[in-house]
A and B are shown apart, each in its own frame.
Chain A
Amino acid sequence: MALSGMRGLSVFISDVRNCQNKEQERLRVDKELGNIRTRFKNEKGLSHYEKKKYVWKILYVHMLGYDVDFGHTETVSLISAPKYPEKQVGYIVTSCLLNENHDFLRIVINTVRNDIIGRNETFQCLALTMVGNIGGKEFSESLAPDVQKLLVSSSCRPLVRKKAALCLLRLYRKNPDVVNIDGWSDRMSQLLDERDLGVLTAVMSLFVALVSNNIEAYWNCLPKCVKILERLARNQDIPPEYTYYGIPSPWLQVKTMRALQYFPTIEDPNTRRALFEVLQRILMGTDVVKNVNKNNAAHAVLFEALALVMHLDAEKEMMSQCVALLGKFIAVREPNIRYLGLYCGNCLEENMTRMLLVSDVQDIIKRHQSQIITSLKDPDISIRRRALDLLYGMCDVTNAKDIVEELLQEVICDPHKLSTISLQYLNTAEFAMREELALKAAILAEKFAPDLSWYVDVILQLIDKAGDFVSDDIWYRVVQFVTNNEDLQPYAAAKAREYLEKPALHETMVKVSAYLLGEYSHLLAQRPGCSPKEIFTIISEKLPTVTTSTIAILLSTFAKILMHNHPSDPQLQEQIWSIFRKYESYIDVEIQQRSVEYFALSRKGTALMDVLAEMPKFPERQSALIKKTEDAEVDTAEQSAIRIRSLQQTSNALVVTDQRPANGSVPVSQLALVRMPSQNMEASSTHDQATSQDQINPQDREFSHQNGSVTAVVPQEVHPADLLGDLLGPLAIEGPPAPAVPAEHKDQNLLSTPEATPDAAGPLALATVDDQPNSVQPIANIAERFNALCLKDSGVLYEDSHIQIGIKAEWRSHHGRFVLFLGNKNTSPLVSVQAVILPPTHLKMELSLVPETIPPRAQVQCPLEVVNLRASRDLAVLDLSYKFGTAVVNVKLRIPAVLNKFLQPLSISAEEFFLQWKSLSGPPLKLQEVLRGVKPLPLSELANLFTSLRMAVIPGIDTNPNNLIICATFHSESTRAMLCLVSINLCSSDIRVETDPTDRTQLRITLGSGDPILTFELKECIKEHLVSIPMQAPTPGISPIQPQSPVTPAYNDPGAMLAGLL
């Protein structure tokens, strides 16, 4: 054993080893470093030997984890030493201490180059090794040609050439331009003929990198690769020192098969046949053997062969062979093989999907389901993770129930028999695994739920038993799901009620139960134990044990119970009030505010009804949960192409409505106005027409992407994906209220807080003021905006360079309420602000006081109450004027208090429908018209349009799939009086839209209602939305008093208007 005796180094190492504790070690290390520092300072007396020794000591200290901030110069300078021993130490320590970005490396580039091009073989080796390990871009640029020369040189020995190959690989990774494609494919092909297996192994690594970036250039190398495989696997034509436990260089085999996987197919039949013969040999000839190393090496080759076969669209027979093998691996005891089997199974699953061989393979994999589930219970977390991934991937409607229940068991019952008490000792990886299990169970349950109640059962069970692992996203999602599925609401509420009976309940369960009962307990009122009082009692019992965030939810629940408390139970009311009063002085401001507000609200009597009505449906969007797993997967950066492809597929399959465009500000000229991404706005209008809105506003969207955003009035970031979080989380009051806002407006602010609004858009509606669409052509856009607002309830009505007017509307029977958000975009105040409402005869409208001055960068909110007297399509106009500097601006804006806003979707049964339909006997109660020039829309979008118009599309009544049956009730004060004998406050209007399947530009509409005026007006209203007729005259423009008044109006462009609509 030729150990160079460096006594000083050995002594230092044993000293460090003998240190009793970390502190002693530090002292010893500091002493040594101090010593080295002084020695280095006076370098003259330093021999090469000493330098070497100190440099090694520095490396040792560095390895122990101490920062060494000196000695780099001395280390690097050793590289220039003339003698081998010093040079060697210089190169090796440099490549350990420094990384490629270190400045010191620059000063040695020349020395390194001289060593590479010099005649001394050993120096070449040292230099190539260091550059190969830490060479960066600069090395790449200055050394690549020399390294290439060495690699192809016939005079160089293999030991230099193999280093040159890997060194070039490094340089190529740092800068792919250094390898010139044109010349290289031929050279590469020659290099693959190499007989020396050391060189060939290194060359193959280089080749994999090259071919992964450019397949086209290297087709000529494909047969060579197959030849190499034949040489190794079939002929075993290699020197004995290159066999590893009897296997011809497994590494080279693996690398070669890896390279082959980059070629999409193999065209040449001979090559193909030869390759499949080799692969077949590998598939058949690999057995599990006793010797671990032999086994590992053989299976390394086998798994690579499997991957290659899967890649190459092999014949079915071979495929089934592969799948059978995988089945064997999944069941095997040896953990490495099982791990890889599961991993491979997942790849196969994804691969098969690509090759449309799904059913066969899935069947086979499914046969192993129970074994995979066993692996889910394995003590090894690596294996459990793989099993989870595979189960997640293979889950479909047929096995969802089993798999989800297994996952559930897995989260709930602990395989390591850990009691809840020891949960805190779970290490982070275990914890993360549980969370992932819970998350995936929740996603699968939703995706493949055989029926909705099962979904609710599963999730509630999950929350109940494994609350610690259930992230907030999961329970937000249940709430969202239940809110959007009316049928489910009573069931979910009843379930929540059941859970509350349990003595010990996880806090998340308290949250979700309280929320569900607050919303839907009135649906259970008839059932025993579900009277408001009983619900209140059982929930309030939890109050003392929960944290602040839950208290907030409970308070909202109480407010909602109070609202449903009729016939009024004074005792219950008093109990709830006393709770509100108690929490008025709670330490948390959020809670205080809620209590105060709910208390004040509940004294308003009927106003409470409006404010605390049920939450409307949430816009359909990608489940936050799925997003979460995707993020996690991106996080784990699965690099293989298959992975990436499959990720893309999943995300395409889901409706993603909430990608956010970049929010970068752009410079704006005076005229190019401001807007935030409309995406935000759309996601924020919490109505069930999110998708249709997307279609409605393609132009808006376009703009938003181009313009980015500039700060509007009150910068308030509301991420759409967090919508639910915002709603459920602490009350997000809008930005700082304008100082000049009168007290009553502040009241309004409070009312429009998220919990309190029937329209869940609470904070977002406020945010919409910031999310103002901007108009490059503001006047044309006013029309578009108006049109868009006819179909949705929040958005921007108007904007110019000074002011932004956003509106948010809520509708309840024949009452409506707008909140106008007037935002001053300037840094100086807007004065003489005047707003007058000019209502049409059929609407009673009342605009609350608009303050005369809007302070700089502030917004004021002005509620506008609307009462509908009868059906009419006349429009209300807002006459707004303000002064900015010397300019007086006057605009007249249509208010979207349109006919369809007073509709309410109604779902009725077929019998009832036909009964009503028949009772409406022809004109004027029933009208029919054939519409031509209808914008061609797929049926689904047509249905969406009607949904946006607040009418219910009822499937199943008309058996012809091209017909739509739509139903709604219309609310007005007069019809209430008129139809008082039948029903109060509503008249039925049934519409039949029959479409001619061959021609989508025309359709026949038949509609009827109990009121001839309504029938007519409604027909015209629908027509406006279906046919490309511009709606009335263009909007009243801005009075030309304002000198910089933006752009000429683009009037009368029906195409543009329709585009805005549809």
Chain B
Amino acid sequence: MIHFVILISRQGKVRLTKWYSPYQQKERATAIRELSSLILTRGPKLCNFVEWKGYKAVYRRYASLYFCMCVDQDDNELEILEIIHHFVEILDRYFGSVCELDLIFNFHKAYYILDEILIAGELQESSKKIVARLIAAQDTMVETAKAEAGSVSNMIAQTM
């Protein structure tokens, strides 16, 4: 199973974290720190797997962002690697040629999307089309709700 997913930038800034196994705040920080130092220092033509504390970190770099998923030793690494790519393709489709900035300012969107792809550290949906449809439906629901609740107070709040 996937124990956690982290997105880190080239500079080591965290862009998204999602934990499927219980980690305390401190353990989360350690994991991020250790894995960043392991992954960010690796050269471009190496394999996509790093062994870490009895787990395997499967990672892949997209422009300035590293996507990393930490799995059990005996999990199928290539399968995980392609889950990463699957996730990236969906992000790409949703944002339209996704870049790091999209994920910084819309990190909550990235969480919505991730929740449609993974649950319990396992792949939930492997069809990009279906994920896109579900996310679009969510967005519509939020928009409708907003329109319905277009009261004065809400409009004031939005301008703040």
Residues of A within 8 A of B (CB): 1-5, 7-8, 10, 13-14, 17, 47-50, 56, 59-60, 63-65, 67, 83-85, 88-89, 92, 96, 99-101, 122, 128-129, 132-134, 136, 159, 162-163, 166-167, 169-170, 173, 197-198, 201-202, 205, 239, 241-242, 244, 249-252, 254, 258, 293, 296-297, 299-300, 303-304, 335-336, 338-340, 379-380, 382-383, 385, 427, 429, 635-640, 643
Contact = CB atoms under 8 A, between A and B. Distances in A.
Given A83-B149, A88-B142, A636-B73, A244 B126 contact: yes
Given A244-B82, A296-B81, A169 B127 contact: no
Q: Which 7 A-B pairs give the minimum distances between C-beta atoms?
A: A300-B78, A637-B54, A335-B47, A640-B74, A380-B46, A166-B119, A132-B119
A2 B143 contact: yes
A479 to B, nearest CB: 32
A300 to B, nearest CB: 3
Given A13-B105, A63-B14, A84-B145, A166 B49 contact: no
Contacts of A163: 119, 124
Nearest to B141: A84
A261 to B, nearest CB: 10
Given A258-B76, A637-B73, A166 B125 contact: no
15 contacts: A59-B108, A65-B29, A84-B142, A85-B141, A85-B145, A88-B112, A99-B22, A173-B120, A201-B124, A201-B125, A251-B82, A258-B76, A339-B47, A379-B46, A640-B74
A606 B50 CA distance: 61
Contact of B76 (A49, A136, A303): A303
Contacts of A63: 14-17, 107
Interface in B7-45: 14-20, 22-25, 29, 32, 37-38, 41-43, 45
Contacts of A335: 45-48
B128 A241 contact: yes
Main secondary structure of the interface of A (DSSP, over half): helix
Contact of A85 (B46, B104, B134, B146): B146
B64 interface: no
Contact of A197 (B49, B120, B126): B126
Given A63-B14, A162-B124, A201-B125, 10 more contacts: A4-B142, A65-B14, A85-B141, A296-B85, A336-B47, A379-B43, A380-B43, A383-B46, A638-B74, A640-B73
A635 B54 contact: yes
Contacts of A167: 119-120
Interface residues of B, number: 80
B61 interface: no
Contact of B49 (A173, A205, A339): A339
Interface in B129-143: 129-130, 134, 136, 138-143
A89 B41 CA distance: 35
A635 B154 CA distance: 54
Contact of A1 (B25, B74, B95, B138): B95
Contacts of B25: 67
Nearest to A162: B124
B79 A336 contact: no
Nearest to A173: B120
B160 interface: yes
Interface of B: 14-20, 22-25, 29, 32, 37-38, 41-43, 45-51, 53-55, 72-74, 76-79, 81-83, 85-86, 94-96, 104-109, 111-112, 115, 119-120, 122-130, 134, 136, 138-143, 145-146, 149, 153-154, 157-160
Given A63-B107, A92-B108, A251 B126 contact: yes
A336 B82 CA distance: 12
Contact of A251 (B54, B83, B106, B139): B83
Contact of B104 (A5, A17, A202, A293): A17
B124 A251 contact: no
A671 B154 CA distance: 81
Given A162-B124, A382-B51, A638-B73, A101 B22 contact: yes
Given A163-B119, A201-B125, A427 B41 contact: yes
A965 to B, nearest CB: 52
B120 A340 contact: no
A639 B56 CA distance: 12
Contact of A241 (B18, B22, B129, B153): B129
Nearest to B23: A99
A201 B153 contact: no
Nearest to A641: B74
A107 B135 CA distance: 29
B41 to A, nearest CB: 7
A96 B142 contact: no
Nearest to A91: B115
A251 B123 CA distance: 8
A222 to B, nearest CB: 20
A681 B94 CA distance: 70
A100 B22 contact: yes
B32 to A, nearest CB: 7
Nearest to B156: A47
Nearest to B56: A382
Contacts of B104: 13, 17
Contacts of A166: 119-120, 122, 124
A396 B52 CA distance: 29
A761 to B, nearest CB: 38
Contacts of B54: 635-638
